Each structure stands twice: as C-alpha cells, then as structure tokens.
Amino acid sequence: MKRLLPFLLMLLASGHAFANFSFLKQEPQVLPVEEAYTFDFGQQDNRLELSWAMAGKDYYLYQEKFSFETEGEVVLGEPLYPTPQNHFDDWFGDQPVYFDQVTVTLPILQASDDATVTVTYQGCLDGILCYPPTKKTVFLNAVAKNSGLTAQTPTGSSIEGAQTQQDGLAAMLAGDSLWLTLATFLGLGVLLAFTPCVFPMYPILTSIIGGQGKLTTSKAFALSFTYVQGMALTYTLLGLVVASAGVKYQAALQSPAVLISLAVLFVVLSLSMFGLYNLQLPAALQNRLNQAQNQQRGGSFAGVFIMGLISGLVASPCTTAPLSGALIYVAQSGDTLLGGAALYALSMGMGLPLLMLGTSGGKLLPKAGPWMETIKHVFGFLMIAVALMMLDRLYAGMVLDLLWALWGVALAAYLLLANKKTAFSWLKMARTVLLSLGLLGSVSYGLHAVMEQESAHQVEFVYIKSLDDLNREVAKANAEGKAVMLDLYADWCVACKEFEHKTFPKSEVRERTDNMVLLQADVTANDVQDIELLESYRVLGLPTLLFFSPEGNELSQLRVTGFMGPRPFAEHLDRVLKQ
C-alpha cells in the first residue's frame, strides 16, 4: 500500500489524467424547456415578432418544427425566418437549426381583439436529449384588414427583397400619398405600353385614324383620346372583376370562343379595308358591320369608343407586377375606389403612347391620292395581324409562326407590287431593296420556325392537376432535398408562352432548373380543380410562378408574376436556390 501511495498522489496532482476516461466527464446541465429556450414576443402594428434565447451553445431549435395555429378572427401571412445553420443530429439527421437566438416574424393580415396564435417549437441539447414539442399562446392586438406586409425583413433573413414588386405596390396603395401613388401607376403604365399585350392596339388605332382620311390635329387627338378612354374603362372594370371574383373571370374572357370571335371581328374589319365587304354574311350581321364601319368613316366618337372597349380585352390577359399590386390591394382591402383609380391610372399610362401616335396621324398621313388606297390596304394587313395575335393565345407554335411568315410574305409582296407602279427614283430603288429583304426575311422566319420546332429543347415538367397532386409532388421533392417551381399556365396567357419559348429553354436558366423539380399546372379548362388550386394560393392572374423550399414551404416573397427574361429570371432562381 505504501508503494502505491506516491503513484496515487501523482495521479491526483495531474488533473488532466481523468480527462482520458469518458465516464468521468461532467455532462452538460439539462435545463427545463422553459429555461433552455427563453421565449418572448412583441407585436408592432401588423407584425408579430417571436423570439427565443438559448441557454447555452449546445441548445438549438429546429426551423421545420415551428408551426402556428390561430383561434378567433385572425389571418396570418407567411412567416419570415432568418437564415438557419445546417446541423446533423442523432434524431432527425441533417436539419436547418438555430443556435444562440432566433426571431421569427409573422405578418398579420387581420386580427380581432380576442384572437390568439399558438406557437409550437421543438429543440434539442446537442448529443444529450431532444425536448418534446412545446406550445406557447400569444394574445394579439386588433389589426384592421390590410396588405399583411411587414415593415422590414428580420435581420439575417435569407430572402433578399422579401416583398415582391406587386406586394410593394399594394402597400403603396395602402399608404397616404394618393397622388404619388397614382403618378407611379401612370408611369408604370407607360412602360407596359411596350409589352406584347398592348402592341395589337397600335394597328387598331392607326386603322381607325387612317380610315378617316385627312384629319386636323384636334380631331385626331379627340378620336385617339376617345379610343384610349374606352380601352382604359374596359381594363379598369375587368381588373376590378378579377380582384373581386378571381382569375376565373379573366380566363372566361380569354376563352377560345371569345378569342376566336375577336379574331373573326378583326378579319371582317380588315376586309372592309380591302374593299371586300360583299361577303355572303347573314344580312343582319352584315348590316351591323356596315353601319359600324360607316360610323367610323364618318368620325363617330361612339364607334371609336366601342372599338376602344373591345381593344381593352386585348390587353386583359397580361398580368404584370403593377396590375397584380392593384388587384392584391382590391382583393384584400375591398377598396374598389382607390384600386379602380390605380387601375385607371395604369390604363391611361398604357394609352399615352397610343394617344401620341393617333394625334400625330393627322399630320403624318399623306394627302389624298393613290397612296391613300395603298395605306388603307396596309391597315387591312395590320388588322389581320391583330387577328393572328388573338389566335396566338390559343395555337402558339409552328402553325402560328408559319401564318406570321405567310402574312409577312403577303404584305411584302403587295408593297413590292405597289412600289413597282411608282415612277423611277432612288427612293423607289431603296424601297425595292428593303421590301425584298422583308420578303426574304419572312420566308426565312417560316423556315426557321420549322427547323426550331424539330430541334427545340423541351423543358421537362411534371404535370399536375389538383392540389393533392401538388402536395404529393412537393413531398417527393422534399425527400430528395430539392426546391420546387410550379408554373401556372393557360393557353390564353401570352406571357406564359413567352416563358415557355423565350426563358425556360435558355442555358443560363436550365443550369438552375436542373437542380429543381419543375411542376406545371395547365389551368386553361378553368374547372373546379383549377379554381381550387388557384384560390388556395390566392393567384389573381397569369403568368404566376410559385416556388417551394426543399422543406416544402412556399417562398411567397419570391413568387413571380408577369414575364421575366432569361437573365433576370436566372438571377431570381439563384435567390430561390439559396433558401
């Protein structure tokens, strides 16, 4: 025993010797859940902030275990989370978690005085134990119905620009600066005047002004202003209907029956420009068309206004961020007066270039003579172009491309023939060269359409129909750890087809989408399942693209409404893939 005593003393003097024996280590202190995660909350207007402070560096909370249940009259927006850390634990494997502290923000769309939110959360002590789910109930202050937008994104949020453009515009409408808001929507309307949905209005207005013969500037302005008012009225009223009743009314007005009827109407109007109004149409319809055309020739403001009303339907399928902002505001606030004023300002902005074009027509058109007959025929070709634009919403693809090529060949050939009858000059030679190039370009366009159809890159979508299909596919993607993009598509949506042909196939976009699961829902039929899917995600118009994180949460702040080109869309996908 005496021999062992020096050895034992030496071991005692060297405290670090015990560190080699794991069973002698001091385990971290296990605290009650209330002490492990100190919970706090605060409500600022329409924003509820929920905070947790962890008791030590080994405590953490799971992002996916947060859930929120409401009681009473309360509507919440999508929760905003800070950027989590990826952590592996023995219970759930790789998980996004929060150490030290975390604050989650809940937008409150509406709440009554007696409303509550029950928050559920779950965390673990690293390597020791996992706490059961814990619930906390928060009593809310009353919040009037609002856009549900928070004043700012939580610090460290992984979402860049948490408000979409349309949400920001909806918030602007909810603000106090009425004139600034209307001026903003007017300016945005001017920008929208150069989008594909507004282009058909230019030949319509030009043909109306051109059909009047020689006009004074004041008369041209009056007719153009009347036309723009008719277009703005239709666009405004249609927007209010969509905001109040949903996208199904927008779809109904862009149904095949309506679009084909409009295409036939413009073809019939074009025939009057060609002097071929002796078609064997029903007598009653022919009389009405003759009467409408005669009224336009006589400069009838009523006829021009009616054409403006019809033209408003041409632009109606285009859902853009400014339009969506006004629709969201009307749908959530019920303030149709302010929403309608914003839509009207947007429409007038779209009409300003039309107004300038129509007013200048009185000066730019040549004097009466042989050229007037040629110009009248050119207007006929422009009206046929409008009809093709209508059909393009139904039959986009190689067939319409070939029709466009045929239209270009016919127009170039007609102008070459008309040019041949003019006296020789250098200007005539220049016109001949340009028109010949146009003829060759139209032929080339048709050939290119056929070749492109054969070699086009087909984006591989998983097609879904119902809300159950969507949930199933999102769950499958979650199991693979992939984000999801849902393309809400309809045949009548022009910008949807632009996405399909101009954006999705591009290499910079495919590099991103190859790492995602791509879903597409064709809502052209507008049946019960389509309506349920659209209304469940409060979709007010197309095109709309929804994104879901690898955890299955919709990234509502990154929702895309309206067309985006390849480069900006690729950058947008980068933000999605960071989630």
Task: Find out whether the peptide bond into 568 is cis, omega within 30 degrees of 0.
Answer: no
The 8-class DSSP code of residue 280 comes to -
Q: For each of the chain's 579 residues, which pLDDT tens digit applies?
A: 444 444 444 444 444 443 443 433 444 567 888 888 999 888 887 889 899 988 888 899 999 899 999 888 888 888 888 888 888 776 667 788 998 889 999 988 888 888 899 999 998 888 777 787 889 999 888 887 764 444 343 333 333 434 455 555 555 555 556 777 778 778 877 877 776 667 667 777 766 666 565 667 777 788 888 888 888 888 787 767 766 655 555 555 566 777 788 788 778 877 877 777 544 445 554 456 455 545 544 446 777 788 777 777 665 555 555 666 566 555 555 567 777 787 788 888 888 887 887 777 555 544 545 666 777 788 778 778 878 877 776 666 677 888 889 999 999 999 999 888 888 888 888 989 998 998 898 888 888 777 765 544 567 899 999 999 999 999 999 999 999 999 998 876 767 877 887 889 888 999 999 999 999 999 887 788 888 888 888 776 778 899 999 988 888 888 887 778 889 899 999 989 987
Q: Which residues contact 578 (CB under 8 A, 6 or more apart)?
A: 158
Counting Cα atoms < 13 Å in the Cβ hemisphere of 308 gives: 28
Instruction: Return the number of other C-beta atoms located less than 10 Å from residue 3's C-beta.
Output: 6
Contact 361, 220 (CB under 8 A): yes
Cα–Cα–Cα angle for 209, 213, 216, nearest 5°?
75
- Name 18's Cβ contacts closer than 8 Å, sequence gap at least 6: 24
User: Which residue from 574, 545, 571, 46 is spatially nearest to 321, judged by alpha carbons?
Assistant: 545
116: β partners: 71, 139
- At 325 the pLDDT is 58
Q: Taking the CB of residue 132, how many other CB atoms lie within 10 A of it?
A: 6
3-class DSSP state of 135: strand
User: Which two three-digit tokens encode residue 286?
Assistant: 């022919």
Distance of alpha carbon 111 from alpha carbon 374, whole angstroms: 65
**Is the overall model pTM greater than 0.85, yes or no?**
no
Measured in whole angstroms, the distance separating CA 273 from the mean position of its chain's CA atoms is 38
Q: What is the pLDDT of residue 21?
A: 39
* Residue 504 Cα to chain centre, angstroms: 15
Write down all domains in the chain, each with its CATH number in brackets: 33-158 (2.60.40.1250), 171-367 (no CATH), 462-577 (3.40.30.10)
Burial tier of 414 (Cβ tally within 10 Å: 0-12, 13-18, 19+): middle
Asked whether 244 and 332 are in contact (CB, 8 A), the reply is no
Q: What are the backbone angles phi and psi of residue 102, rounded to the nearest 5°?
A: -150, 145
- Can you give the pLDDT at residue 319? 54
Which burial class, exposed, middle or buried, applies to 368 when counting CB atoms under 10 A from its CB (0-12, 13-18, 19+)? Answer: exposed
d(CA 136, CA 117): 8
Q: What is the largest CA-CA distance in the chain?
A: 133
Up-side HSE of residue 373: CA atoms within 13 Å toward CB?
A: 6
Which DSSP string corresponds to 473-508? HHHHHHHTT-EEEEEEE-TT-HHHHHIIIIITTSHH
Token code pair at residue 372: 């007037």
Please return the burial class of 505, using the count of CB atoms within 10 Å of its CB with bins 0-12, 13-18 and 19+: middle
- DSSP, collapsed to helix, strand or coil, labels residue 85 as strand
Distance CA 501, CA 522 (A): 16
Strand partners, 82: 157
- Tell me the CB-side half-sphere exposure of residue 151, using CA atoms within 13 A: 7
Q: Residue 486 has which token pair?
A: 């849902």
